[in-house]
């Protein structure tokens, strides 16, 4: 948005409101960037205090997948779903269903359960990752109960540019990636390819072998991922842009068995995703702008269930093999206007159709569900004066079941479920480099297909009548430059979550079984309170220091005797970068997590890890690096029975052109 005169638009604040390139990112491990450039297609605006992981951060700290990249930020906790070997995150206590994943503003979470395996999403073709916590733009649409994660794809800036890298690592890991792009003024093109294959990861030498894990290389921890991405865009003038993107990613992974009771011997022969996106920005006269997003995502994955650790031939494919064939189609339209003095008003509508089909090993359909999800929103960004911006938004979301088919379960189509949300943010720029803010956001998450219909291996009773979860998120914060070359942040947050979808047990039981079935119900009331602190800056011309701290206090208000799992109370990171002349960088990164509950009776120990890396720049465009992760070979777990890698090494070479 262009200011018409000095008093018509709050220059800095409205730039922030209209473009993710003008986002004041967290200073945990990212740089504060405020630019007046035209927003890239796919970026989401009005998240004035969102956190950003840049491509520079991704490369500097070797974050090859989205989960590890997000773990650089304050407020984010890395975890994993041990039973499905999926890398996941919490944001201020909210899980991945409540803080969904987007690519260029397009939702990419799996339709059936709302989750996504962040290990399958590589970072080589990304320009940045944008994270909104609590308060987030209405442009994202529904289900942003605790915020949103937006992967921003690359866009070339010059006539010819690119990079290529290759690497090896522990576990006989091999990886390669390449990106190339051209910007010809009236049009641009970007393409990327990546490949990673690993036989598995080593456990810590201090791991004690069990009946299901003998130590050394983690059993059945192999993985293979490849991905291609292509984007073509037209830029006929300074304000308009039209882009088509295509993604194809293929994955294959093993499921390491639990080191304790209940070990599962599973393999995923494929975990694939194919996507086609259209995005556009069109200036309509002097005051209006139209943004359109259209998309189709196809998700396919297969599961093979084996009898024991020898992984014998599957002789009963009906019971021991299954495939999911999921598809999402949808779009959004956003019309914004600056016709009223000192205001930018947005009207946004989102529409999404989710389809889930499950088949057994002989291709018989075992369940088929379809939902439509629609939302309407209005947002008003008001420049109160030259230093103060007020952002107001209201949304209405509706979930309409369209198809329910599951043999043996006499479902009828349940009624539609709706939720209305409102939010407000006040932003005050004390100086050009210092921002104070306060936000209040009432958000919701509509139940997923799995929430409503999964029997979880005949241990649950389905509940098609589930209502939306609701949260009221409060935050006050500071972002600024207290000293030259030093950036800092501080935030206090509180979330009050009601109607949380949780497991309800049979009276007198604490487990779910065929004889004592559980059910998902809207019975949870939870609060999340915390503090985030971060700082990064140059100590001198050769040394950069930085780090962040997060305190997260969770309370199960409705059932204090039941533990809330997966989230440590304290998380601390610190890094140092030391330049040895012009050619060598020495980088260290340390992380500490306090203990976390894995169940009502199991508390996982806290841990600290240290990563070291040395970079040698052969020329201005060619560099090599070697490094060690978990230098002290700490034996630790993020989920009970699923130990993380011990000490590992890596070596990479890269070239930019």
Residues 522-547: tens digit of each pLDDT: 999 999 999 999 999 999 999 999 99
Note whether 51 and 26 are within 8 A (CB). Answer: yes
With a cut of 80, say whether residue 198 has pLDDT above it: yes
Per-residue model confidence (pLDDT) at position 44 = 56
Model confidence at 510, pLDDT cuts 50, 70, 90, reads confident
When pLDDT is averaged across residues 453-478 and rounded to a whole number, the result is: 94
pLDDT at 342: 93
Looking at residue 48, its pLDDT comes to: 64
Which of 19-23, 42-46, 81-85, 257-261 comes out lowest in average pLDDT? 19-23
> Average pLDDT over the chain, rounded to whole?
91
Q: Is the pLDDT of residue 651 over 50?
A: yes
pLDDT at 5: 38
Domains of the chain, earliest start first: 11-222+235-656 (2.40.170.20)
Please indicate whether residue 378 or residue 109 has the higher confidence score (pLDDT).
378
Read off the pTM. Answer: 0.91
Q: What percent of the chain stands above pLDDT 90?
A: 86
Q: Supply the pLDDT for residue 4.
A: 37
Confidence of residue 35 (pLDDT cuts 50, 70, 90): very low
Task: List all residues 6 or more positions away from 604 whose beta carbon is below 8 Å from its beta carbon.
Answer: 595, 596, 597, 598, 636, 637, 638, 639, 640
DSSP 186: S
DSSP 308: S
Residue 185, classified by CB atoms within 10 Å of its CB into exposed (0-12), middle (13-18) or buried (19+), is exposed
Contact assessment for residue 73 and residue 99, using Cβ atoms and an 8 Å cutoff: no
Q: Residue range 423-436: average pLDDT? A: 94
**If you average pLDDT over residues 411-437, what whole number do you get?**
93
Q: Three-class SS of residue 411?
A: coil
Q: Do residues 528 and 500 make contact, with C-beta atoms less than 8 angstroms apart?
A: no
The rounded radius of gyration (Å) of the Cα atoms in the chain is: 24
Summarised one tens digit per residue, pLDDT across range 329-364 is: 999 999 999 999 999 999 999 999 999 999 999 999
Per-residue pLDDT tens digits for 8-17: 332 223 323 3
Dist. CA 272–CA 410, nearest whole Å: 32
Identify the H or E element spanning 451. helix 449-453
What pLDDT score does 26 carry?
31
| Position 318 pLDDT exceeds 60 | yes
Tens digit of each residue's pLDDT (9 = 90 or more) over 230-267: 999 999 999 999 999 999 999 999 999 999 988 999 99
The predicted-structure confidence for 92-104, as pLDDT tens digits, reads as follows 999 999 999 999 9
What's the CA gap between 525 and 522, in Å, rounded? 9
Confidence of residue 595 (pLDDT cuts 50, 70, 90): very high
The mean per-residue pLDDT over the stretch 192-201 comes to 97
pLDDT value at position 408?
79
Confidence at residue 6, expressed as pLDDT on a 0 to 100 scale: 34
What confidence category does residue 87 fall into, taking pLDDT thresholds of 50, 70 and 90?
very high
pLDDT at residue 407 in the model: 86
pLDDT at res. 508: 86
Binned at pLDDT 50, 70 and 90, residue 47 comes out as low
Answer whether residue 581 shows pLDDT above 70: yes
């Amino acid at each position: 948005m262009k200011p018409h005169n000095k008093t018509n638009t709050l220059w800095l604040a409205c730039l922030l409101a209209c473009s993710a390139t003008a986002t004041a990112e967290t200073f945990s491990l990212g740089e504060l960037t405020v630019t007046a450039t035209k927003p890239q297609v796919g970026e989401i605006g009005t998240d004035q205090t969102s956190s950003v992981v840049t491509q520079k951060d991704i490369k500097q700290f070797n974050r090859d997948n989205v989960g590890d990249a997000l773990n650089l930020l304050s407020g984010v906790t890395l975890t994993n779903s041990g039973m499905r070997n999926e890398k996941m995150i919490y944001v201020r206590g909210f899980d991945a269903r409540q803080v969904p994943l987007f690519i260029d503003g397009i939702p990419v979470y799996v339709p059936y359960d709302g989750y996504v395996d962040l290990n399958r999403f590589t970072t080589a073709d990304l320009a940045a990752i944008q994270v909104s916590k609590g308060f987030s733009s209405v442009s994202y649409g529904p289900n942003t109960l605790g915020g949103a994660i937006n992967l921003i794809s690359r866009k070339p800036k010059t006539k010819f540019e690119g990079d290529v890298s290759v690497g090896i690592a522990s576990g006989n890991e091999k990886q390669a990636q390449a990106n190339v792009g051209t910007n010809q003024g009236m049009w641009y093109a970007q393409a990327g390819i990546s490949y990673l294959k690993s036989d598995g990861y080593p456990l810590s030498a201090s791991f004690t072998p069990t009946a299901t894990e003998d130590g050394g290389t983690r059993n059945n921890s192999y993985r293979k991922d490849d991905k291609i991405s292509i984007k073509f865009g037209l830029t006929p003038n300074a304000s308009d842009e039209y882009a088509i993107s295509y993604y194809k990613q293929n994955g294959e992974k093993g499921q390491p068995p639990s080191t304790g009771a209940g070990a599962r011997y599973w393999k995923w022969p494929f975990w694939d995703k194919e996507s086609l996106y259209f995005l556009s920005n069109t200036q309509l006269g002097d005051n209006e702008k139209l943004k359109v997003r259209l998309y189709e995502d196809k998700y396919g994955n297969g599961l093979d269930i084996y009898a024991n650790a020898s992984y014998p031939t599957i002789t009963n494919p009906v019971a021991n093999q299954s495939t999911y064939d999921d598809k999402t189609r949808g779009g959004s339209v956003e019309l914004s206007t600056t016709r009223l003095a000192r205001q930018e008003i947005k009207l946004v509508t989102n529409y999404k159709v989710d389809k889930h089909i499950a088949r057994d090993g002989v291709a018989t359909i075992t369940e088929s569900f379809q939902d439509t999800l629609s939302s309407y929103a209005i947002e008003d960004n008001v420049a109160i004066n030259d230093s103060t911006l007020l952002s107001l938004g209201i949304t209405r979301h509706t979930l309409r079941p369209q198809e329910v088919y599951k043999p043996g379960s006499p479902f009828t189509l349940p009624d539609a479920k709706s939720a209305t949300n409102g939010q407000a943010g006040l932003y005050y720029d004390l100086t050009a480099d210092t921002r104070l803010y306060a936000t209040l956001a009432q958000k919701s998450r509509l139940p997923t297909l799995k929430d409503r219909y999964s029997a979880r291996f005949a241990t649950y009773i389905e509940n098609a009548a589930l209502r939306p979860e609701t949260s009221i998120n409060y935050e006050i914060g500071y972002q600024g430059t207290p000293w030259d070359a030093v950036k800092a942040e501080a935030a206090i947050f509180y979330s009050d979550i009601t109607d949380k979808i949780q497991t309800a047990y049979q009276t007198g039981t604490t487990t779910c079984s065929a004889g004592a079935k559980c059910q998902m119900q809207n019975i949870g009331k939870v609060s999340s309170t915390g503090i985030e602190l971060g700082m990064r800056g140059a100590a001198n011309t050769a040394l950069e220091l930085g780090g962040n701290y997060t305190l997260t206090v969770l309370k199960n208000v409705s059932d204090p005797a039941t533990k809330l799992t997966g989230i440590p109370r304290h998380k601390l990171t610190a890094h140092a970068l030391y330049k040895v002349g012009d050619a060598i960088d020495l980088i260290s990164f340390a992380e500490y997590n306090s203990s976390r509950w894995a169940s009502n009776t199991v508390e996982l120990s806290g841990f600290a890890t240290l990563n070291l890396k040395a970079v040698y720049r052969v020329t201005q465009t060619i560099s090599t690096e070697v490094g060690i992760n978990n230098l002290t070979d700490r034996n630790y777990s993020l989920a009970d029975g699923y130990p993380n890698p011990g000490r590992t090494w890596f070596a990479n070479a890269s070239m930019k052109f």
